[in-house]
A and B are shown apart, each in its own frame.
Chain A
Amino acid sequence: DAKTTQPNSMESNEEEPVHLPCNHSTISGTDYIHWYRQLPSQGPEYVIHGLTSNVNNRMASLAIAEDRKSSTLILHRATLRDAAVYYCILYGTSYGKLTFGQGTILTVHP
């Protein structure tokens, strides 16, 4: 499985934007970049995914580097509810198998 590298932790203030980076230098052409988050005492929650172009949805934006070796998840205005562990995952042809790393623990301060 292709590997991703994320910072162990990040902090943000409420209502400020948050940029969560992810490096994936060994990404293959068929790998999609998926982001999930896990709030305390809950199952993981799908956030967003993309292949080559930047993507936006109601939760976040995903900015993908032109060479696809890195990406950034953008939360436009962090809320306390966004405090969670964020996982960047490469998802290609291995059916159903999301390979979770350690993720980034996001702390949001009031």
Chain B
Amino acid sequence: KAGVTQTPRYLIKTRGQQVTLSCSPISGHRSVSWYQQTPGQGLQFLFEYFSETQRNKGNFPGRFSGRQFSNSRSEMNVSTLELGDSALYLCASSSEDGLNEQYFGPGTRLTVT
């Protein structure tokens, strides 16, 4: 089985712009979670989607949003980028109800200048 894929792998944006990141889960997995990793805050949970519905959300501002499509692929969007949004964004997929082990993608490295 192919693993979790994320595109793009690297991205450079300017403050104030918006960005969309994509995640394709492992085939058959219906739960997709998103995380932000920074040197200062470590790995932090953004949100989780299951069957196109957001079931859980972390403590991030409304500028961070996501969605999931019927094929379980997911996107996350960050609007009005700030310098502090520079981070590695990771997505993870899980089978069934989302309480099983998660399989992470390689991440998208976002740099905001």
Contact = CB atoms under 8 A, between A and B. Distances in A.
Contacts, number: 66
B31 A96 contact: yes
A68 B35 CA distance: 28
Contact of A95 (B31, B92, B101): B31
Nearest to B106: A43
B34 to A, nearest CB: 9
A36 B90 CA distance: 14
A101 B41 CA distance: 10
Contacts of A36: 102
Given A43-B104, A46-B102, A93-B99, A98 B90 contact: no
A97 B43 contact: no
B103 interface: yes
A44 B64 CA distance: 22
B76 to A, nearest CB: 13
Contacts of B4: 43
B15 interface: no
B58 interface: yes
Interface of B: 4, 31-33, 35, 42-45, 47-50, 55-56, 58, 90, 92, 94, 97-99, 101-107
Interface of A: 32, 34, 36, 42-46, 49, 91-102
13 contacts: A43-B4, A43-B90, A44-B43, A94-B56, A95-B31, A95-B48, A95-B56, A96-B33, A96-B47, A96-B92, A96-B98, A97-B56, A100-B44
* 7 interchain residue pairs of minimum CB distance: A96-B48, A43-B104, A96-B33, A100-B43, A46-B101, A97-B45, A95-B98
